[in-house]
Homo-oligomer: A and B are copies of this chain.
């Protein structure tokens, strides 16, 4: 790809509605809750149930997950390490726009590589980012396998599948660990809800 115009010609436009005004009007802070974990660990399920709970309480919230993003914005990307990185870079930038728009983003992505998660995290300040490790052993995820993808990966029909023939690097210092072999979905949702509340995000 070519760039005909120099970066210095692009001037940031501050806009007339500030994020702080949105936070005040909506009655809560905005930020990103990033759920990382293996496929079938329960990330998306927790994210979407929490989305519903928060929405019903009047919180402006939106859940991203690997599947709906990969159908549109990132439909040009595959699952090689480079494409996974670009996938996450773009997601982080879109999440920034939502956070600027006053919205709490629940982002559920396998995001298996530590350095890619660090790249995402680096785009946000500490008080607007929560890293959640949705923990579940690969053998349990593989038993769940709701989309039959582990099976396909074992058969060699999918290559580079995290937990089968591609690594997952566990977070070393996540803000919260949710062990989905020990908690039910409602318990996991409540745990995360309480943590977000404790962090002060549910007030302006």
Q: Which residue numbers of A lie inside 8 Å of B, CB to CB?
A: 1-7, 9-13, 15-17, 21-22, 25, 44, 48-49, 51-52, 55, 58, 60, 62-73, 75-80, 82-83, 86, 90, 93-94, 96-98, 100-101, 103, 123, 147, 149, 152, 158-161
Contacts and interface: CB of A to CB of B under 8 A. Distances in A.
B94 A17 contact: no
Given A3-B78, A77-B3, A80-B4, A9 B65 contact: no
B62 A101 contact: yes
Given A49-B16, A51-B16, A158-B5, A10 B70 contact: yes
Given A4-B159, A94-B94, A160-B4, A147 B78 contact: no
